[in-house]
Amino acid sequence: MSQQLDELVEKLSQLSVLDMAKLKEKLEEKWGVKAAVAVAAAPAGAAPAEAAASESTEFKVILEGPIPDDKKISVIKAVREVTGLGLKEAKDLVEGAPKDLKATCPKAEAEEIKKKITAAGAKVTLKGL
């Protein structure tokens, strides 16, 4: 069973962000559930400032819109570079902004993606998870 799980994890790791979103939708349909992010509650008596003080190690990278027309091609190229999407998928993502570029990634990777996309002419928001 462990080998099957390892193989499944490897296959899922190769999916693009767009394909993962489609997979999530199909699983929600099949199982009749809605995927939601679990929110960890702070321990009783803990100050909200203490929870905010702990820095996030994982980030969601969000492409903000709208993208200026004169920057669209360079942004599409940058999106393809960081996501591995095909031309059509990257174009659809850029034209549909705001959209998630990466659902979760380490801080260093998130900063690198932000730098590349910003250099191409688009705005990116990092949201700590």
pLDDT in tens, 54-89: 567 888 999 998 888 899 999 999 999 988 889 999
Report, as an integer, the average pLDDT of 106-128: 91
More confident residue, 9 or 72: 72
Helix H, strand E, coil C: the string for 56-94 is: CCEEEEEEECCCCHHHHHHHHHHHHHHHCCCHHHHHHHH
Q: Quick one: pLDDT at residue 35? A: 64
Joined together, the tokens standing for residue 28 give 């929600």
Entry field: residues in the chain: 129
CA distances for 3 relative to 6, 10, 12, 23, 64, angstroms: 5, 11, 14, 22, 40
Nearest to 60 by CA among 109, 10, 119, 104: 104
For residue 64, list its beta bridge partners: 123
Task: Identify the helix (H) or strand (E) that includes residue 21.
Answer: helix 17-31
Let me know: does 59 contact 104? Beta carbons within 8 Å: yes
Strand partners, 17: none
Q: Which of 1-15, 29-43, 100-114 has the lowest mean pLDDT?
A: 29-43
Higher pLDDT, 24 or 76: 76
Give domain limits for the chain: 1-34, 56-129
**More confident of the two residues 77 and 27:** 77
Q: Does 56-129 carry CATH code 3.40.640.10?
A: no
Q: What is the pLDDT of residue 13?
A: 80
Q: What's the whole-model pTM score?
A: 0.56
Q: Rounded to the nearest 10 degrees, how much is the dihedral formed by the CA atoms of 7, 113, 106, 104?
A: -60
